Amino acid sequence: MSATSADALAVPVNPAAATSAPAVGSSGSDASVQASDAADAQKKGWRAWIGRGIWGFVDMGLFAGGNFLTHVFLARWLPEAVYGAFTTAFAIYLFFAVIHTSVVIEPMMVYGSRRYRRRLPAYLGNLIRLHAWLCVGYAVVLGMIAVGELLMGESELGGAVSMFAVAQFALLLPWILRDACYIISDPKPAGLAGMIYLAVVLIGLYSLQTMGWLSLPTAVGLLGTAALLASAWLVYRLQLVGHILAHGQRLRWARHRHWRFGRWSLLTNFIRYVPEHMPLVVVPMVLGYASGGALKALVNLVTPFILVTWALSNLLLPVLVQRTGNRDFERFAVRITLLVMLGPLLCWPVLGWFGQPIVEFLYDGKFGEHAWALWLLGLLPVVISVNCILCSVYRALDRPNLILPSAIIAAATVFAIGLPLLWLFGLWGMVAGMLFGQVLQSVMLLITYVKRLRGRAIGTLIKSKSNAEPSLTEAVGSSIPGVAP
């Protein structure tokens, strides 16, 4: 494991020199040597940060690229209705991924960065065991859904959901292990895992298509295999095998804190699931699987930006947690928000003007008639980038419960505006509802931050930390989500 950012940027200081004057007769060159050493140490620290940033983007790009190419190739090689069934099954799987993100991953990024940092391997071992038990429950429910779809004659959808029931343990495991690399400020293992994942996916898809075995179940099985191999590398690299198999201390308090933190994130993320993923379930029910596939084919073009935004928000969450006591906290949050927004904003007009040729090229002439919707969809990652950073700020301050009202408004907007527009205008109406819901959520998050956090949580936190430097939990009182400090 690499040193933390504080260690990387630390400058060696001679305590005696810091508290006393130089000895009589010493030359002024000593000060120059010390200044040179300090400058060298700072340069090394910046180089370390640049290297970590590069590996972080490699990790995000390879995993996002693997998923993006999977959807592109499936949309090219499978009939439109069959691909639409895959997108519906994938949206159902993501419903259970919401539980995992809320109860396991988001609390891990906060508590692993501070409270359990000194016991991180044992902490991660406990979380992986918790991951296994949760996945057993997911598999049971997904299996029941698959049986129901098969009984109703939906063989493609039922087969895909059944494979997600089997593969979701492997599919969700890299989410934990990759984020653990960011907690220790060493994303290089995650980047190498991304190389493994992408290589297995591309080779597997080509092989399945060449042999005529490509179908929804085999595609999901391939994704699970690629994720499992990438996870095996991360478990080995992070030296977690012994801690996963250990039967000693269970860190029950960690699980209890995860639930106290995650119960609010769970409710919030369930509600946020509605505007982000429910359209992929609703559109096939209203317009058919082919229209659902068309919507997903367009969303695929903005999904890499959204995935990178979510990954960056997770990457920056430990940094925000550690900066909560600094006076430049707000300035730092604004700067990273603008930085994250920049990429999607620059690509938006490109998607709008050249959307149709891009869509027809990627999907072998399919879905081109719907490309005009990219003028609206292209703005979606811009708005989501604001939401992601604001949500990370709330979680860094240990107040995920305050995200809930804005998520409710976004979900209600999709139902109140998106569904009627879907009936009236087809895909355009649903896309407009999705975008409008995200905009309203951003506005609500900003209003809540200014009214309830800017003056109370951040101001109090900075003042208390400047005096005593307590832990995050101590700084906000009990710090139990849902309980006022």
Q: What is the pLDDT of residue 471?
A: 37
Going by C-alpha positions, the residue among 178, 54, 188 that lies closest to residue 109 is 178
Q: How many structural domains does the chain have?
A: 2
> Dihedrals φ, ψ of 196, to 5°?
-60, -45
pLDDT at 350: 92
Domain boundary among 217, 242, 277: 277
Do both 433 and 367 map to the same domain? yes
> Is there a domain that residue 480 lies in?
no
Q: Among the three residues 225, 245, 277, which one is the final residue of a domain in this structure? A: 277
Do residues 437 and 276 make contact, with C-beta atoms less than 8 angstroms apart?
A: no
Tens of pLDDT, residue by residue over 195-243, are 999 999 999 999 999 999 998 889 999 999 999 999 999 999 888 877 7
Length of the chain: 485
Backbone angles phi, psi at 139, to 5 degrees: -60, -40
Percent residues over pLDDT 70 in the chain: 80
Q: What is the pLDDT of residues 30-62, one digit of tens each?
A: 555 455 545 555 555 566 667 777 887 788 888
Residues 329 and 269 in one domain: no
Say whether both 358 and 435 belong to one domain.
Answer: yes
**Residue 311 falls inside a structural domain:** yes
Amino acid at 200: V
The structure tokens listed for 56 are: 């972080």
* pLDDT score for 45: 55
Domain boundary residue among 253, 277, 301?
277
**Rg of the chain, C-alpha, whole Å:** 24
Per-residue model confidence (pLDDT) at position 468: 40
What's the token pair of residue 149? 């779809």
DSSP codes joined into one string, 131-149: HHHHHHHHHHHHHHHHHHH
pLDDT at position 288 is: 84
Give the residue among 126, 228, 227, 238 at the shortest CA–CA distance from 188.
238
Q: Is residue 13 part of a domain?
A: no
Lookup result for tokens 């493994």 = 196
Whether 52 maps to a domain, the answer reads: yes
Share of the chain above pLDDT 90, in %: 26
310 with 386, same domain: the answer is: yes
Q: Cα(183)–Cα(12) distance, rounded to whole angstroms?
A: 24
Distance of CA 132 to the CA centre of its chain: 20
The distance of Cα 226 from the centroid of its chain, to the nearest Å, equals: 19
If you ran DSSP here, which 8-state letter would residue 471 be given? -
448 Cα distance to chain centroid: 23
**What token pair was written down for 387?**
């939401």
In a shared domain, residues 171 and 316: no
My answer on whether 264 and 331 are in the same domain is: no
Average pLDDT score, the chain: 79
Structure confidence by residue, pLDDT tens digits, 317-359: 878 887 776 777 788 888 888 888 998 999 999 999 999 999 9
Domain that holds residue 297: 282-468
Block means of pLDDT (10 residues each) for the chain, length 485 residues? 35 34 46 50 61 79 87 90 89 90 86 76 86 93 92 86 93 92 86 94 95 90 95 90 65 71 78 79 84 89 82 77 76 86 91 92 89 92 91 82 82 85 87 90 88 58 43 32 30
60 and 200 housed in the same domain: yes
Instruction: Decide: 270 and 98 in contact? Cβ < 8 Å.
Output: yes
